[in-house]
Amino acid sequence: MKDPYDWIERSLDTIHQARWHRSLKTIVGRPGAVVELNGRSVINFASNDYLGLAGDERLIQAAIAATETYGTGATGSRLLSGHRDLHRQLEQAIAQWKQTEDAIIFSSGYLANLGTISAIVGKRDLIFSDQYNHSSLKNGAVMSGATCLDYEHCNLTQLRQHLEQHRAAYRRCLIITDSVFSMDGDLCPLPEILDLAAAFECMVLVDEAHGTGVLGKTGAGCVEHFACRDRPLIQMGTLSKAIGSLGGYVAGSAPLIDFLRNRAATWIYTTGLSPADTAAALTAIHIIQTEPQLRDRLRHNITHLTQALASVFPADQDVSTTRLYAPHHPITPILCLEVDSPATVLHWGDRLLAAGLFVSAVRPPTVPTSRLRITLMATHEPAQLDQLRDCLRSLVP
Ligand SMILES: *Cc1c(COP(=O)(O)O)cnc(C)c1O
């Protein structure tokens, strides 16, 4: 008899040969701009905790207090025994912040995308998806059973052509896009996408995972940044990045949210968010709204590092095989440095780590091309950014 599991080791061999294999790194202690990794202290350029809130004492205390009051687990799905007043407070805080009629929280951003997309479109419908969209958007589209067409990254001409060619043959149509692209750091052209959606009678779902807490006057995200808050759209995001907790949300019209409470399987058939996570997120949103200086510090760091790296990697000019693609407007905390191969990016990641700098080396299949993904935090010091610049300069061939 053939072993029905022996393909797993063969697959792993292939993954190793392509240098695609991943393994875990253990961070010790609280998260922050400096963390302990493999027994030493390193400057952290690999976190999505853009405002430094995940290690903030106020969030920790809120989580402890909620645990004391409500216990550790929600004990059931929200529709059965798992709904607490804290959940509703968080949903109302999100809706108020996003200026939407209502909001709903999921156990993660990933589940929010799966549940929402598969609830609002189905077999008779059409989805247009930016090719660089996050995995959760892509898999939400698959799960929905709708026909899904990718358009080239931020290519509105192609999106329009696709709409002209295919829209009429389907019932509903949904355009899905990251607001800040997670592995590139650039912004989607949201106002133009909304114009196309209006012209072709499409819904739009924008994923604010990396926009929430970072962009816009009150930190409400890319939708606020582009002054699109009054336009009809579906906003989702995560509580696990700038908000420093765990969970996801969808914000939109009251009928949409009520519909999701009745139809989103990843919300109905899963346990409610833990009291600790819920309370931490609620506290974070309050801090983000009342302390704009956090965002100011982050923005300052983004400008500082973009300028520092521009001196090492002239914009859009090949330095050997390396390319910095700072977004056109350096307002997002994600900066990428494209490198020619998975082996090079791993080597650079190791060299940076040896110098005490923790930077993610991202490889296919997560992204089409290997890159260093540098993420900034409000709590980085200028000297730490300069240290990164100096080390990168020493790596350039
Ligand atoms: C991280 C991320 C998600 C998933 O959010 P989680 O809460 O971590 O599950 C969804 N979309 C994008 C663009 C992300 O970067």
Domain boundaries, the chain: 15-45+292-395, 59-290
Distance 86 CA to ligand 1 centre (A): 22
Cα of 206 from ligand 1 centre, angstroms:
12
Residue where the block lists tokens 């009342």: 290
The pLDDT of residue 319 is 45
Cα separation of 68 and 230, whole Å? 40
The alpha carbon of residue 284 and the mean position of all alpha carbons in its chain are separated, in whole angstroms, by 17
Q: Which two tokens stand for residue 71?
A: 């216990």
> CB within 8 A of 138, min separation 6: which ones?
129, 148
Rounded to an integer, the average pLDDT of 342-368 is 92
Residue scoring higher pLDDT (185 or 267): 267
pLDDT at 307: 87
Q: What atom of ligand 1 comes closest to residue 110's alpha carbon?
A: 9
Name the helix (H) or strand (E) containing 138. Answer: helix 135-144
Average pLDDT over residues 264-288: 98
Residue 194: how many CB atoms within 10 A of its CB?
20
Give 113 or 184, the one with higher predicted confidence: 113
The predicted structure's pLDDT at residue 365: 83
Q: Residues near 2 by Cβ (< 8 Å), separated by ≥ 6?
A: none
Q: What is the pLDDT of residues 217-254, one digit of tens each?
A: 999 999 999 999 999 999 999 999 999 999 999 999 99
Whole-number Å distance, alpha carbon 114 to ligand 1 midpoint, is 11
Contact yes or no for 93/140 (Cβ under 8 A): no
* Alpha-carbon gap, residue 376 to 385, rounded angstroms: 9
Pocket test for ligand 1, best of 48, 207, 238, 245 (most atoms within 8 A of CB): 238
Relative to the CA of 180, which ligand 1 atom is closest?
13
Round to whole Å and give the CA distance between 160 and 369.
Answer: 27
Give residue 76 CA to ligand 1 midpoint distance, Å: 24
Residue whose CA is at the smallest distance from ligand 1 atom 1:
209
* Angstrom distance (rounded) from CA 156 to CA 8: 41
Ligand 1 pocket test, candidate residues 240, 273, 375, most atoms within 8 A of CB: 240
Cα 360 to chain center, whole Å?
15
For ligand 1, pick from 48, 110, 184, 362 the residue to mutate: most ligand atoms within 8 Å of CB: 110
H or E segment to which residue 290 belongs: helix 275-290
Distance between CA atoms of residues 287 and 208, nearest Å: 18
CA 256 to CA 119: how far, in whole Å? 10
- Protein residue whose Cα sits closest to atom 6 of ligand 1: 109
pLDDT of 350 over the 70 cut: yes
pLDDT in tens, 32-69: 999 999 889 999 999 999 999 999 999 999 999 999 99
Residue 323 has pLDDT above 90, yes or no: no
CA-to-CA dists, residue 263 to 68, 220, 257, 260, angstroms: 33, 26, 10, 5
Domain 59-290, what architecture?
3-Layer(aba) Sandwich (3.40)
Residue ranges lining ligand 1, Cβ < 6 Å: 108-110, 113, 134, 136, 178, 182, 207, 209-210, 238, 240, 248
Q: How confident is the model at residue 320 (pLDDT cuts 50, 70, 90)?
A: very low
Q: Are strands 40-45 and 34-37 parallel, antiparallel or unpaired?
A: antiparallel
The mean per-residue pLDDT over the stretch 13-35 comes to 91
Percent of the chain clearing pLDDT 70 (strictly above): 96
Q: Could you read off the pLDDT of 167-178 as tens digits, one per residue?
A: 999 999 999 999
- Predicted pLDDT of residue 239: 98
Bridge partner list, 204: 175
Evaluate if residue 255 carries a pLDDT over 60. Answer: yes
The CATH number, out of the four listed (3.90.1150.10, 3.30.70.1060, 3.40.50.300, 3.30.200.20), of the domain defined by the range 15-45+292-395: 3.90.1150.10
Mean pLDDT of 77-90: 96
Cis peptide before 232 (omega within 30 of 0): no
Give the per-residue pLDDT at 116: 98
The answer to whether 137 touches 208, Cβ cutoff 8 Å, is no
Say yes or no to pLDDT of 326 above 80: no
Q: Looking at residue 23, what is its pLDDT?
A: 83
Over the Cα atoms of the chain, what is R_g?
21
DSSP assignment string, 298-334: HHHHHHHHHHHHHHHS-TT--BTTBEEE--SS--SSE
Determine the average pLDDT of the residues in 263-281. 98
How many whole angstroms from 245 Cα to the centroid of ligand 1? 12
**Which residue lies with its CA nearest to atom 8 of ligand 1?**
109
Distance CA 242, CA 297 (A): 13
CB atoms within 10 A of CB 269: 10
Atom of ligand 1 nearest to the CA of 239: 7
Share of residues in the chain with pLDDT > 90 (%): 85
| pLDDT of residue 105 exceeding 70 | yes
Closest atom of ligand 1 to 238 CA is 7
Residue-averaged pLDDT of the chain = 94
CA distance 360 to 253: 37
Calculate how far, in angstroms, residue 107's C-alpha sits from the geometric centre of ligand 1. Answer: 11
pTM: 0.95
* Contacts by 60-66, CB closer than 8 A, 24 or more apart: 60/280, 62/279, 62/280, 62/282, 62/283, 63/245, 63/276, 63/277, 63/279, 63/280, 64/276, 65/279, 66/275, 66/276, 66/278, 66/279, 66/280
Residue range 186-198: average pLDDT?
97
